[in-house]
C-alpha cells in the first residue's frame, strides 16, 4: 500500500521545488510525489506536496490563488529581478513617504497585464525564457493577464518596501518589484519572498523537511498528511452506492444529482471511500469521471 495525501511543506531558502519533491520521496519511500506550484530557490514558504492518489489533484491546485510576503529593495536592478541576479544598474532612491509609495502601488492592484521576467520557466518559441536569457538574448514577452486582489504596504524602511500580496495564478512577484522600481525611476529588485498561502493551505500548517523527517517516524500517516480531497472541499460531493461506485471506476457517466456545465465534483462511496473527481456534462445531464481513484 502506498501513501496517499498532501503534505504542506515550509520550503527553506536554497532548495528548488524539485529538491523538495526528491527529499519527500526519500523520507516517505513513496515514489509518486509532485508539487503544486514552483517556488524560486531563494523563496521560502508554503509548497503543498502531493503523494500517491493525491497527485490527481495537482492540476486543480496549480490554479489556486496565493498570498506572499515580499521585500522589494529600491535603487538596485538585477538581471533576474531578484537578489540572485547580477546587478545591472544602481540609482539613488528618491525621498519617499509611505503615502507616496502606496499611491505608486495603485496601478498594480486589480486586473492588470504583467510582462514576465526574462528569467522565467515559461516557454516562448519552444525555449524556456531563462534558457534564452542565459544565452545572452532578450526577447519580447507578451503580457499575461493576472489579478492582484491585495497589495498592501506593510512597511517602508529605505530602501526596503515590505508588501503583502494576494494574487492569482501566474503572477510574478519579481515583476511587481521590477515594475515598481521602474515607476519610481530608481529601479528595484525582489530581496525576500515568502509564500504564506496556496489555495486553502497556510504557512501555519506547514512542516520543514527536517520536521517532516522526525514526524514521519513518530506520527501516524493520517495525522501527518491531509486527505487528498482537502484542497477541493468547496466542490460539491456526490455519494454513490455499490453499483454507482463500480460504474464510476469503469469510467461510466452517472446521472446523480445535478450541476452546471463545467462544474466539478468529489465522488465517494457510501463507505466514505474517495473515488475521485468528476465534471458535469450539461448536454447529457450527467457526471463524467475525470480522475478515478482505485478502491
Catalytic residues: 40
4 phi, psi to nearest 5 deg: -130, 130
Does residue 268 contact residue 239 with C-beta atoms inside 8 Å? yes
- Cell numbers describing residue 233: 472541499
Q: Which run of H or E residues covers position 189?
A: strand 188-198
- CA pseudo-torsion sign 249, 246, 233, 4: negative
Produce one character per residue of 141-168: b if its CB has 16 or more CB atoms within 10 Å, e if not.
beebebebeebebeebeebebbbebbbb
- Cell numbers describing residue 162: 515590505
Strand pairing class (264-269; 237-240) = parallel
- Cell numbers describing residue 285: 445531464
What span, in angstroms and rounded, lies between the C-alpha atoms of 153 and 93? 17
Q: Which residue has the cell 500517491?
A: 52
Amino acid at each position: 500500500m502506498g501513501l496517499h495525501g498532501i503534505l504542506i511543506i515550509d520550503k527553506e531558502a536554497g532548495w528548488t521545488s524539485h529538491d523538495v519533491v526528491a527529499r519527500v520521496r526519500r523520507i516517505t519511500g513513496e515514489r509518486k510525489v509532485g508539487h503544486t506550484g514552483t517556488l524560486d530557490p531563494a523563496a521560502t514558504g508554503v509548497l503543498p506536496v502531493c503523494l500517491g492518489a493525491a497527485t490527481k489533484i495537482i492540476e486543480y491546485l496549480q490554479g489556486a490563488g496565493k498570498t506572499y510576503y515580499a521585500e522589494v529593495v529600491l535603487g538596485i536592478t538585477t538581471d533576474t529581478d531578484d537578489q540572485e541576479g547580477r546587478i545591472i544598474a544602481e540609482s539613488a532612491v528618491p525621498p519617499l513617504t509611505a503615502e507616496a509609495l502606496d499611491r505608486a502601488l495603485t496601478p498594480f492592484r486589480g486586473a492588470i497585464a504583467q510582462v514576465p521576467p526574462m528569467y522565467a520557466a515559461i516557454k516562448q518559441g519552444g525555449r524556456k525564457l531563462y534558457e534564452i536569457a542565459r544565452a545572452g538574448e532578450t526577447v519580447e514577452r507578451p503580457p499575461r493577464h493576472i489579478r492582484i486582489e491585495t497589495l498592501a504596504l506593510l512597511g517602508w524602511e529605505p530602501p526596503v518596501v515590505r508588501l503583502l500580496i494576494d494574487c492569482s495564478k501566474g503572477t510574478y512577484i519579481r515583476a511587481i518589484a521590477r515594475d515598481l522600481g521602474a515607476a519610481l525611476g530608481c529601479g528595484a529588485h525582489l530581496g525576500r519572498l515568502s509564500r504564506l498561502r496556496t489555495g486553502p493551505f497556510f504557512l501555519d500548517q506547514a512542516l520543514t523537511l527536517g520536521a517532516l523527517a522526525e514526524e514521519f517516524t513518530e506520527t501516524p500517516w493520517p495525522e501527518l498528511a491531509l486527505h487528498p480531497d482537502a484542497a477541493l472541499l468547496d466542490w460539491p460531493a456526490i455519494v454513490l452506492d455499490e453499483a454507482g461506485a463500480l460504474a464510476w471506476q469503469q469510467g461510466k457517466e452517472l446521472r446523480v444529482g445535478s450541476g452546471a456545465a463545467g462544474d466539478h465534483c468529489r465522488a465517494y462511496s457510501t463507505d466514505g471511500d474517495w473515488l475521485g473527481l468528476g465534471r458535469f456534462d450539461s448536454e447529457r445531464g450527467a457526471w463524467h469521471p475525470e480522475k478515478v481513484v482505485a478502491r
